Structure 1
C-alpha cells in the first residue's frame, strides 16, 4: 500500500498495533489535540442510525444452553487461552456434535484454524456458524477479516454490512468497516462516519480512534482544498 505522507505512515502503525498485526511498531501516544477533538466528535454526524440504541439480537437469542454446555465451552476457551489448541479443537469439535444449535463452538474452531493457517477450514467453520445463527456478529467480523487478508475487499465489506444489518449499533463492526474503507477501499468520508459511530458507542472515548479521526479529517480537508 502506498502512502503519500508521514502522517499516513504513522497512522498505519497505530492501526497495525490495534489489529494485532505482526511486523508493526508500537503505536505512539495520542496527541492532546486529539483529546480535545473527542468532545466535538460525540455529536458529529456518524453512521449510527437515529433514535435510541436497540437490543443486540445475538444477545437476545432464546437458545437454551445447559450448564454442562457452558462448562464445556469455558473449558475449551481456557485451553485456547493457554495455547493448547489441540485440546481446545478436540473439545470444540465434540461440542459441535453434542450441541448442534450453538454457533459459538464453530466460531472458536475458526479462530484455531485461522491461527494455524488453515484458511479454508476457518471460512467453512464461520459459514457453518452463520447457518446456525445468522445473528452471530463475531462470525461476520471474523469472516470479513479472512476475506480482507485474502484481498477480497468487496466481500469483506459485504460481511461487515451483514453484521450491521443484524445490529446497526455494533461498535466493532463499525470500527472494522471504517478501517477497511479507509485503508483498503479509499473511501475516507464513509470511513470517518464509521470511526465516529464506533467512538460514539464507547462509554469512554478511545484515544487511538480519536487520533485516527483527527488525521482523517485533516486529510479530507486537504483533499477538498486542492
Structure 2
C-alpha cells in the first residue's frame, strides 16, 4: 500500500513537471527552435450532405476565470487606466504599485505596468512585468501576446514565435495570436507561406472584417502563388475572391 502511494506521488510529480516544462515561457536571449503552429489552424467541417457546419470557436479561457477582487483595487485599477490614457505614467505606476502589493492574486496590474514600460521603451522591464502576470494567471492570453510583442521589438523573433505558439496552445482560436504570427512570419522570419496560413486563420476567426488584413493577405498570396485555403478543405476558388467580396 505504501509502495502504491509512493508510485502515485511520483507519477503526479512527473506529470506536473511535464506540464511545467510544456508551459515554460521562452526568454529573450534563449536559443529556441521555431514551434509548429500549423496544428493550431482552425478547420472548416462539413456534414454528411457536404454542407458546411458553423465553426464553433473555442472561448478565451482567461475570460472564464472568476475571482473576487477587492473594491479598492478595482477603483485603483480604473484610476490607473485613466492616468495611462492621459500619459500620466507616474500616477498610473503609483496606483498599480499599490494594487500589486495589496493583492498578489491578480495579474492585470502587472500587464498594465508592462504596457507602460513598453511606452517608455524599457523592453526588458516590460518582459519581466508580463512574466509576473503570467506566473499569477497562466491563462492570461493578453500577457502572452504583449510579451511576444516585447520580445519581437527586442529582436528575439524565434522567442516571440514560441510565445505566440504558447498562446495558441492555451487558446487555439485566438485571432490576435494568429495575426501576430502572420506579422512575424512575413516581416521578420521570411516565411510567407506560414504568414498566409495565419492571416487566413485570423480573417476566418474575425469574420473577414479587417480590410487592411484582407489586402495584406492578398499581397502575401500574390507572392506565394498558393490559392488553396489552409482552413477549408473544399475551398476550390481563390480565398481572396471571397475576401474581396466582403471588402466591397
Query: Taking structure 1 as the reference length, what is the TM-score of the superposition?
Result: 0.74
Using the TM superposition, name which of 83-92 and 54-63 deviates more.
Answer: 54-63
CA distance in 1, matches of 2:219, 2:207: 22
Query: 1:18 is matched with which residue?
Result: none
Match status 1:48 vs 2:48: no
Gaps of 5+ in 1: 1-45
Q: Root-mean-square deviation (CA), in Å?
A: 1.6
Which residue, 83, 86, 99 being the options, matches 1:82? Answer: 86
Give the drift of 1:203.
4.3
Corresponding residue number in structure 1 for 2:225? 221
1:15-164 → structure 2 map (5 Å cutoff)? 47-49=41-43, 52-164=56-168
Q: Is the 8 A contact 2:148 2:161 kept in 1?
A: yes
Q: Which has the larger radius of gyration?
A: 2
1:169 aligns with 2:173: yes
How far residue 69 of structure 1 moved from its aligned partner, in angstroms, is 2.4
- With 112-121 and 99-108 compared, the bigger mean Cα shift is at 112-121
Contact 2:123 2:154 in 1 (8 A): no
> Deviations 1:52-86 (Å, cap 9, x if unpaired)?
21221000012222333222211110000011000
- Tell me: higher relative CO, structure 1 or 2? Use CA pairs within 8 A at least 6 residues apart: 1
In structure 2, how many angstroms separate the alpha carbons of the residues matched to 1:84 and 1:151?
A: 28
CA–CA distance in 1 between the matches of 2:207 and 2:68?
A: 30
Runs of 4+ in 1 over 4 A off after TM superposition: none
Give, in whole Å, the separation in 1 of the partners of 2:152 and 2:101: 30
For residue 64 of structure 2, give the secondary structure of its aligned residue in structure 1.
coil
